[in-house]
Amino acid sequence: MLRVLVVGVPRGGTTWVGKALGNSDATAYVHEPDGTRDPMAFRHRALDRQGQFDFLNVGDLAPEYERLWDGAFSGGRARRSMYARLVVRALDGLPREERNAARLGNRLSLTTKFVLRGARPLLPRRDVDAVVVKSVHAAMSLEWIYGVIEDLRVLVVAREPRNVLASHVAIGFGPPAPLMLAAARRSMQDRWGLEIKTPEAPMAHSALLCVCLMLGLHDGLRRHPEWQMISHERACEDPHVALARTAESLGLRFGDRAKAFVSDSDREGTGYETARKASELADKWKERLTSEDVDVIENVLEQVPRELWQVPQPQLPRS
């Protein structure tokens, strides 16, 4: 089975790209198996001691994480039993405090124990030739995943940081939690020797996490020239051509269903919908960000050496 991982940052265009590619002929699409609503992802974070964004290096032990990705790339078929549905419902109702307690190894509630016991990996599919998995949580663990999934093809979706953060504003995303922010700072120091100075402002903290995740993706691209990257802004110039070429380069068959998805998504939309007027997205940040926001973001970006943004291959594809 052909295995493709579409990865980027939250609000970076990965859902649009992932679903377009996932609508290719004889292809299954798996949406964020490592997300916050998946019981197996919750089990992994509790037992492997990880946060919402996984920070794993090659060689780190994370057996539940490996089970999670094995299930996703086997086809990612959801479990439909009544028991599985009850586990999902229990996780949906679990307060943040109890989720954090599980991850930190603190005392567990009965509901938390029920979710951890009932979490299972996704199931295989035999009716497809390819599987496209999409994630916005794997940027800092991408090489780890690449090392455990055989014959994995990686597509990084890149988006201009100001557009990403403007989308955060539009949808009402708040700043990262203190533990998440601390993990990002620690990772930037350990990996690249960076100590980014920021004011105690929500946008500054959001920008720091966004830049950390983006640098993780660029770092992987430099190490692995076989990985591919597609620019969200450039794909918006001519979505049909850009996405069809990307699918072809990955070995996917971009047929009528995929083309219909791209056409249908090129319209007005809001929130978590993938529908957007593609031609209007490239400079959307100019409408959504205040001048103060822009100054804060640029201050963070200016503290990152230019070479950390460079990758050894052209962005793919461009019409």
Give the chain's domains with CATH numbers: 2-309 (3.40.50)
The rounded mean pLDDT for the chain is: 92
Q: Which amino acid is at 176?
A: P
Predicted local confidence at residue 268, as pLDDT: 66
Does residue 317 carry a pLDDT above 90? no
Q: In the structure, what pLDDT confidence band is assigned to residue 287 with cuts at 50, 70 and 90?
A: confident
Lowest mean per-residue pLDDT among 34-43, 46-55, 137-146, 244-253: 46-55
Helix axis angle, 14-22 relative to 239-250, nearest 10°? 60
CA-based nearest residue to 179, from 118, 235, 241, 99: 99
Task: Please check whether residue 238 is in contact with residue 319, taking contact to mean a CB–CB distance below 8 angstroms.
Answer: yes
Does residue 270 carry a pLDDT above 90? no
* Start-end of H helices in the chain: 14-22, 39-47, 63-73, 82-92, 96-103, 110-118, 142-148, 161-171, 178-192, 202-223, 232-237, 239-250, 256-265, 285-288, 291-302
CA angle 271, 119, 91 (to 5 degrees): 45
